[in-house]
Copies of this chain bind each other. A is one copy, B any other.
């Protein structure tokens, strides 16, 4: 079982730490803020108050025995870079770091980060796509030109079967799942009928998805 160290437990870091622990993994959470550590201590394996830019102190936590370190300090770019360098040198195999911007990301990769993430930027893209159409509920970019979207059934789809609607021919999209309240049908077939307030999970080319967004 992989062991994770999460360094910095702000909004992003604490969510990563709690989720990993919830999935059953060992998680060491480190933050310099005592209150933050108090808050997260019940949701991780170990929570330790420490300044991670102090090499001796994170070395003494046995950081080199962890498979993955996630460095989530966004605002203080200098600390984020220094900590990435330290954990990489101490021998952590896989280091994920949060970046503020492209330049920050470039430096992180140069000094050995294996993956750089931009949580706010990525979620901004998602939320924007959500907003342009009140019927698009969630959104995932599959490839530069293809997306999966959750879409609220249009009024004139109600009471019709998938074969009647013929989404592929009419809109260029495929229906992959239909949600009806708490139920979800992950193998919809031609005879399944759309009901009011159903949410369809569809896959398609962005141009086709955008045409559908505009029908909302």
Q: List the interface of chain A (C-beta within 8 A of B).
A: 2, 4, 10-16, 18-20, 23, 25, 68, 70, 74, 96, 100, 117-125, 127-129, 131-132, 138, 140, 142-143, 145-146, 148, 150, 168, 174, 176-177, 179, 182, 184, 186-187, 201, 203-204, 210
Residues of B within 8 A of A119 (CB): 119-120, 123-124, 127
Q: Quick check: B143 and A179 within 8 Å, CB to CB?
A: yes
Q: Is the CB of A74 within 8 A of B11?
A: yes
Counting chain B CB atoms within 10 Å of each CB, which of A4, A128, A142, A145 scores highest? A128
Which residues of chain B are within 8 angstroms of A150 by Cβ–Cβ distance?
142
B184→A123 contact, CB < 8 A: no
- Determine which of B131, B179, B186 lies in contact with A174 in the assembled complex, contact meaning CB atoms within 8 Å: B186
- Whether B186 contacts A10 by the Cβ 8 Å rule is no
Which residue among A10, A13, A15, A25 has the maximum number of chain B CB atoms within 10 Å of its CB?
A15
Task: Tell me, rounded to whole Å, the shortest Cβ–Cβ distance linking A122 to chain B.
Answer: 6
User: When the two chains form their complex, are residues B125 and A122 in contact, meaning their CB atoms are under 8 A apart?
Assistant: no
Contacts of A125 in B (CB 8 A): 15, 19
Measured between beta carbons, the chain B residues less than 8 angstroms from A2 are 132
**Cα A70 to Cα B126 with chains together (Å):** 13
Chain B residues closer than 8 Å to A12, beta-carbon distance: 120-121, 123-124, 127
